[in-house]
Structure 1
Amino acid sequence: MTSYNPKDWFSFIFHLSKADTFRKLIPVMFFIGIYCSGIAYLEIEYWALPEDSHVKNISIMHGMLGFVISLLLAYRTNTAYDRWWEGRRMWGNLVNSSRNLAIKLSAVLTDEKDRTFFRKIIPGYASILNKHLKDEETGKQLFDDVDLEIDHHKHRPNQIAKIMYQKIQDLYSAKKISGDQLIILNNELTSFTDICGACERIKNTPIPYSYSAFIKKFIFIYVLTLPFAYVFTLGYYVIPVVVFIFYVLASLELIAEEIEDPFGMDANDLPTQKISENIKKHVEELI
């Protein structure tokens, strides 16, 4: 995740990061600029359309649809951010669950072998979950056109949770923990699987295709019709104006695409690797 100072305005204005939408959109912006140049030349020089041409009235459509496209993009961005924030909240819960389990085990366990086991296995769950969520197959489990050969032994977070639960049962069978302590520890272990399931729900349930495709088509058609009307009032200045409008609208869609899957490798995705490392450090301090 990109580290930055939110109060340093000038660094935002003049710095181009790897995640900046401008460099991603340069080829399309170049195409839009050429397209606008062609429309402006045809209307001003070739066809020499008069000021009272009906083509000028296309701007009425843009005025009516501008509010609609702003609502769609606002909803799209908010929905994507909700997914990003829920992912962060789940990993915050994983940090708390790992700490709580480590605190309770540190007070219960007296055998150093048992303490060493949990000192390794608890942060191991976070590390394995991080790799599991970055696996491309995890995000394809619900796709209709993808036939995955499901091997439950490959679901590594479940295997780690199973090992921890089996160890807790062995401790109870060996009379190292009481029945009440077993119930308390079992609740902590259950939260690990709940967090994994919530993260998988975010990972393998993308924004509905029809909604995402409609917004892209809407932006493209909206921008392509802009120069027809505004060439009458802006002349050749319509070229940079339309390019800038496309940059703003397309950037909002690109930002939403990037943050709707918070477990990827993009610059603004969640630092799950760093969080798992912090869990390891905290658990080792407690047990």
Structure 2
Amino acid sequence: MVKYDPKDWITFIFRFHKADTFRQLFPMMIFIGLYSAGICYLEVEYWQLSQESHVKNISIMHGMLGFVISLLLAYRTNTAYDRWWEGRKLWGSLVNNSRNLAIKLSAMLKDENDKKFLRFLIPTYASILSKHLSNEEVGQLLFEEVDLKINLQKHKPNQVAQILFQKINDLHQSGKISGEQLIILNAELQSFTDVCGACERIKNTPIPYSYSAFIKKFIFFYVMTLPFGYVFNLGYYVIPVVVFIFYVLASLELIAEEIEDPFGNDDNDLPTGKIAENIKRHVEEIL
């Protein structure tokens, strides 16, 4: 995730970060510019269309459709940001629940070996969940004397949650924690799987294909028809104007595409790996 100062306007305006949409759209912007120049040359120099030509009235269509495309893009970006923010709230709840579980266990347990096992097991869930959501490989984890056998062919976060619950259940059966304490711990234990399921719902349910494809086609054909009408008023200045309009509209769609899946490795995705490291540090401090 990109770290920045939101008050530094100069940096925003004059620096092009690798996550900036300008880099991604530059080849298409060149094509749009050449296309606009070709249309402008044909209408002004070759066909020599007059101001009374009906082609000039195409701009009326753009005025009507501009409102529609603004609504579509506003809904698209809001929906994508809602998914990004929901993912951040889920990982925030995972941080809090990991801390709460560690705090409760630190007060209930007296055996240092049990604390040592849980000190590594609790943050392991966040670490493996981060790799699971970003489709990274997870190998066999060995933390000092704590050996966790993870079957790479099965659901990895579920296996860690199962080991964690089995350890808590063993502590109950051995009399190290009471039945009332087991009930108190159940909320945090259950929340781990709840967070995992909610994150998987976001990741595995993208925006419907028809909706996304329609917006792209709408932007493309809207921009490609702009030179026909506005060349009468702008002349060859229509070239930078059309390129700029395409940049604005296409950038909104690209931004929405990037943030709608917040668990990848893009610059604007959630720093789940960093959050997992923070959980590990906090749990080790508590236990």
CA distance in 2, matches of 1:66, 1:60: 10
Whether contact under 8 Å (1:172, 1:178) holds in the other structure is yes
Secondary structure at the counterpart of residue 247 of structure 1:
helix
Aligned pairs (5 A) from 1:135-154: 135=135, 154=154
Q: Describe how 1:117-266 pairs up with structure 2 within 5 A.
A: 117-135=117-135, 154-266=154-266
Does the aligned pair in 2 maintain the 1:91–1:195 contact within 8 Å? yes
Q: CA deviation at 1:18?
A: 1.0
Aligned length: 274
- Structure 1 residue 136: deviation in Å? 7.7
1:43: how far off? 0.1
* Partner SS for 1:154: coil
Q: Which residue of 1 aligns with 2:22?
A: 22
Q: Which moved more, 1:153-162 or 1:54-63?
A: 153-162
1:148 is aligned to none
* Equivalent residue, structure 1, for 2:274: 274
Secondary structure of 1:31's aligned partner? helix
Kindly indicate whether the alpha-carbon contact (under 8 Å) linking 1:127 and 1:276 is maintained by their aligned counterparts in 2. Answer: yes
**Identity percentage of aligned residues:** 76
Q: Which runs of 4+ in 1 moved over 4 A?
A: none
Cα deviation code 1:96-135 (max 9, x no counterpart): 0100000000000100110001000000000000000001
Are residues 1:66 and 2:66 paired?
yes
Shift of 1:220: 0.1
Give, in whole Å, the separation in 1 of the partners of 2:65 and 2:153: 51
Secondary structure of the residue aligned to 1:52 is coil
Cα displacement string for residues 1-34 of structure 1 (whole angstroms, at most 9, x for unaligned residues):
1111111100000011110000110000000000
In 2, Cα distance between equivalents of 1:16 and 1:99: 39
Query: Are 1:8 and 2:8 matched, yes or no?
Result: yes
Aligned to 2:146: none
2:92 is aligned to 92
Q: Which SS does the other structure have where 1:242 is aligned?
A: helix
Q: In the alignment, which residue of structure 2 is the partner of 1:284? A: 284
Decide whether the 8 Å contact of 1:153 with 1:159 is kept in 2.
no
- 1:187 CA displacement: 1.5
Cα separation, 1, equivalents of 2:123 and 2:153 = 20
Distance, in Å, in 2 between the alignment partners of 1:248 and 1:2 is 21
TM-score with structure 2 setting the length:
0.94
Deviations 1:128-173 (A, max 9, x none): 0000000189xxxxxxxxxxxxx99521100000000001110111
Q: TM-score, normalised by structure 1?
A: 0.94
Distance 1:52 1:104 in 2: 80
- RMSD of the alignment, in Å? 1.2
Structure 2: state its 5+ residue gaps.
138-150
Which residue is equivalent to 1:44?
44
Measured in 2, the distance between the counterparts of 1:135 and 1:280 equals 21
